[in-house]
A and B are shown apart, each in its own frame.
Chain A
Amino acid sequence: QKEVEQNSGPLSVPEGAIASLNCTYSDRVSQSFFWYRQYSGKSPELIMSIYSNGDKEDGRFTAQLNKASQYVSLLIRDSQPSDSATYLCAVLTGGGNKLTFGTGTQLKVEL
């Protein structure tokens, strides 16, 4: 079992819709969770961080964490073509020393 799992996609949504990206992790003692956006040929950019169960909102982005189910998600409201990118889920594992990444979900927002 991979430590951090994501559906590779591509996930296609129409402009203006809500995009829902999901991630599961295997290390039960993980405490911190992150979503990064990576455009093709560029390095990852931090979008959201979350460590408490529940929802955390920042503009059009909402991160959701459920530690009991070992599940973290990212919702993007009012999706725009500029949101088209690969979204990486990352979990701080190994006692909080190592950031482990999923393989990423490719999001395509269509006009």
Chain B
Amino acid sequence: GAVVSQHPSRVICKSGTSVKIECRSLDFQATTMFWYRQFPKQSLMLMATSNEGSKATYEQGVEKDKFLINHASLTLSTLTVTSAHPEDSSFYICSARVPRGVINEQFFGPGTRLTVL
């Protein structure tokens, strides 16, 4: 499968600080990347779709001013959690799609565990 990396893997920060998470496609170019959030014992929830060279598309209920997404190149998307609070503590996972013939397969990065104190 295609390789997607994320950095950092784990972040602990104080309430009110901003945290940037990087997502990279290592062996393919991704015009579109996706950001998910997963709370303990819950399923993945799509936060936003990141489009290279244009604005991200946010899902209903996700604050675009709090979760800033930048897709600066075909291999890099970043998610910045601004003024993080304890309720933002979660597992953040990015992914990207790779065309495989008639089907587009979606591969996930290893995730970033954010803990806000």
Q: Which residues of A contact B (CB under 8 A)?
A: 32, 34, 36, 41-46, 49, 51, 88, 90, 92, 96-104
Contact = CB atoms under 8 A, between A and B. Distances in A.
Contact of A98 (B42, B46, B103): B46
Contacts, number: 46
Interface residues of B, number: 21
Contact of B111 (A32, A42, A100, A103): A42
Interface in B75-117: 91, 93, 100, 102-111, 113
A34 B106 contact: yes
B103 A44 contact: no
A46 B44 CA distance: 14
A41 to B, nearest CB: 8
A89 to B, nearest CB: 10
